């Protein structure tokens, strides 16, 4: 039997220009039995978002032509006949024109347009691999059966997607060591064949879904950083790279704002115990960060493994002294969040109030506030940041909460909504957004500064 495939996912900057594509292709062809999942070229999805907005006002030509030219030039530079991408180029023109003609940016039309970046890149990359002498097929993940629900723009994969993906790949003899499958990230399909997208940055998630569907032996996320760091290097420039993380630690980090991985990415891989590696396309010789169920034997892990943060957090406080002690109050609030399709990040309660943070920083809270006000008083506080201190063995000696809070108190930064989950992998709390840089730096110093001899 052939060794199971490795799924390699390349992000936008890793396929951003001809040189980057050539680098990515070298990594692919030096891998045994690779299956490739790709993002759109860097910046393309952003342009498509702008295009959708403008097209809905009837103006479309400029950005369409810019994107057509960019991809045709890319093809030529790679020695690929632009005819190889004629179909997605036509799709791009048609979608933009369709939106402009109807002067309507419906969620489905928008997803079809946003999908064009990935639909262009996969066949382009596959054609380039063929010019290098490697059989390769560009595939749309929608056509391969990545089934989702119909929440356009943030679609959720359906459980049947695994079987469908596996069956259609087997049928086309992909992932079995023959032609290299080059699959679009980001894109899915509803049961009735409408294109959906998995949310911005969703190609990581697609790659994990594909890895799980085909029982990959590893999922490699190739990106423009050398792995996951102990804090965001933009805030803490000398934060070291972490060699190994457990699935629990890495998913806490991803959900807590670490930008390297799309939050949902690890779940499918984790469910099947597929090891994940975050690797640097410019430095393929480096090991990156490896993520597995357990740390490798002999690895010494500090209590705190990393500090993540996320800005733009809003707190909704629901007050009802009369109602709170009564049964059913919490479920009534939860039901409102459910009805408005909002997920909750953190909750904290007191005798007279419940505070919650919706996890989507861009969601319009107007409608849910209006409904909650039907039975309680609601206050909204904006401009908070969530800081998460993460580590599987955080609580080894029971002192970490005290140390973290003392560290923040020393800065005079007010702390709100402390949450220390049952799994004890993540201690999270809110601070005012304008204090987050200080707080992250101070905590990093506290837990990671080399001990002075
Ligand atoms: N191209 C999509 C985006 O920019 C998906 C991805 O890159 O993961 O959001
Ligand atoms: Mg990404």
Which atom in ligand 1 lies closest to the alpha carbon of residue 40? 1
Q: Which DSSP letter does residue 148 get?
A: B
Mean pLDDT of the region 30-40: 97
Distance CA 336, CA 29 (A): 50
Which atom in ligand 1 lies closest to the alpha carbon of residue 199? 9
Q: Which residues does residue 384 pair with via DSSP β-bridges, in sequence order?
A: 313, 432
**Distance (Å) from CA 9 to ligand 2 centroid:** 10
Q: Which class does domain 306-447 fall in?
A: alpha beta
The residue to mutate among 15, 121, 200, 209, having the most atoms of ligand 1 within 8 angstroms of its beta carbon, is 200
Which atom in ligand 1 lies closest to the alpha carbon of residue 12? 7
Distance CA 359, CA 30 (A): 40
Mean pLDDT of the region 143-165: 97
Task: Tell whether ligand 1 has an atom less than 6 A from the beta carbon of residue 117.
Answer: yes
Task: Tell whether ligand 1 has an atom less than 6 A from the beta carbon of residue 39.
Answer: yes
Binning pLDDT at 50, 70 and 90, where does residue 57 land?
confident
pTM for this model (two decimals): 0.92
The predicted structure's pLDDT at residue 100 = 87
The residue to mutate among 11, 12, 155, 187, having the most atoms of ligand 1 within 8 angstroms of its beta carbon, is 12
Span(s) in the chain for CATH 3.30.2130.10: 306-447
3-state secondary structure of 84: helix
Please say whether the beta carbons of 183 and 240 come within 8 A: no
Kindly report the number of other CB atoms within 10 A of residue 80's CB atom.
23
Nearest-ligand number for the alpha carbon of 40: 1
Binning pLDDT at 50, 70 and 90, where does residue 450 land?
low
Q: What angle do CA 40, 43, 44 make, to 5 degrees?
A: 50
Residue nearest to atom 6 of ligand 1 (CA): 201
For 424-439, what is each residue's pLDDT tens digit? 899 999 999 999 999 9
The predicted structure's pLDDT at residue 410 = 95
**Distance (Å) from CA 357 to ligand 2 centroid:** 24
Binning pLDDT at 50, 70 and 90, where does residue 451 land?
low
Task: Tell whether ligand 1 has an atom less than 6 A from the beta carbon of residue 125.
Answer: no
**Distance (Å) from CA 282 to ligand 1 centroid:** 19
Q: Is the pLDDT of residue 238 over 90?
A: yes
Provide long-range contacts, Cβ within 8 A and 24+ apart, for 395-401. 395/303, 395/424, 396/303, 397/303, 400/303, 400/304, 400/427, 401/427
Residue nearest to atom 4 of ligand 1 (CA): 45
The predicted structure's pLDDT at residue 260 = 86
- The CATH classification number of 6-224 equals 3.40.1160.10
Binning pLDDT at 50, 70 and 90, where does residue 276 land?
very high
**Distance (Å) from CA 210 to ligand 1 centroid:** 16
For 340-365, what is each residue's pLDDT tens digit? 989 898 998 877 789 999 988 889 99
CA-derived radius of gyration, the chain: 23
């Amino acid at each position: 039997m052939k060794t199971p495939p490795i799924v390699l996912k390349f992000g936008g900057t890793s396929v951003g220009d001809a040189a980057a594509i050539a680098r990515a292709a070298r990594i692919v062809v030096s891998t045994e039995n690779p299956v490739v999942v790709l993002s759109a070229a860097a910046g393309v999805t952003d342009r498509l978002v702008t295009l959708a907005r403008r097209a809905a006002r009837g103006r479309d030509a400029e950005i369409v032509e810019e994107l057509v030219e960019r991809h045709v030039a890319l093809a030529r530079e790679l020695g690929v006949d632009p005819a190889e991408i004629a179909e997605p180029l036509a799709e791009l023109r048609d979608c933009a024109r369709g939106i402009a003609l109807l002067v309507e940016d419906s969620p489905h039309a928008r997803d079809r347009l946003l999908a064009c970046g990935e639909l262009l890149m996969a066949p382009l990359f596959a054609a380039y691999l063929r010019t290098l002498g490697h059989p390769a097929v560009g595939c749309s993940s929608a056509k391969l059966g990545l089934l989702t629900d119909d929440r356009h723009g943030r679609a959720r994969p359906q459980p049947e997607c695994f079987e469908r993906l596996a069956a259609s790949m087997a049928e086309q003899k992909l992932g079995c060591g023959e032609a290299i499958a080059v699959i679009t990230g980001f894109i899915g399909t509803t049961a009735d064949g409408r294109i959906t997208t998995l949310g911005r940055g969703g190609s990581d998630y697609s790659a994990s879904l594909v890895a799980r569907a085909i029982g990959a032996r590893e999922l490699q996320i190739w990106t423009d950083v050398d792995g996951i760091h102990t804090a965001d290097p933009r805030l803490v420039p000398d934060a070291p790279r972490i060699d190994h993380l457990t699935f629990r630690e890495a998913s806490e980090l991803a959900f807590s704002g670490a930008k390297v991985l799309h939050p949902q990415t690890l779940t499918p891989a984790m469910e099947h115990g597929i090891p994940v590696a975050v690797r640097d396309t410019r430095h393929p010789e480096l090991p990156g960060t490896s993520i597995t169920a357990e740390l490798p034997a002999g690895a010494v892990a500090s209590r705190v493994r990393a500090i993540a943060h996320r800005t733009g957090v809003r707190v909704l406080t629901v007050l009802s002294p009369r109602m709170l002690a009564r049964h059913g109050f919490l479920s009534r609030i939860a039901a409102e969040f459910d009805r408005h399709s909002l997920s909750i990040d953190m909750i904290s309660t007191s005798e007279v109030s419940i505070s919650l943070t919706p996890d989507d920083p861009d969601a319009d809270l107007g409608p849910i506030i209006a409904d909650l006000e039907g039975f309680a008083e609601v206050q909204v506080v904006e401009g908070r940041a969530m800081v998460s201190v993460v580590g599987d063995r955080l609580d080894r000696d029971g002192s970490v909460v005290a140390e973290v809070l003392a560290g923040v108190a020393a800065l005079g930064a007010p702390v709100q909504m402390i949450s220390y989950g049952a799994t004890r992998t993540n201690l999270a709390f809110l601070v005012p957004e304008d204090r987050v840089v200080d707080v992250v730096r101070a905590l990093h110093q506290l837990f990671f500064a080399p001990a002075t001899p």
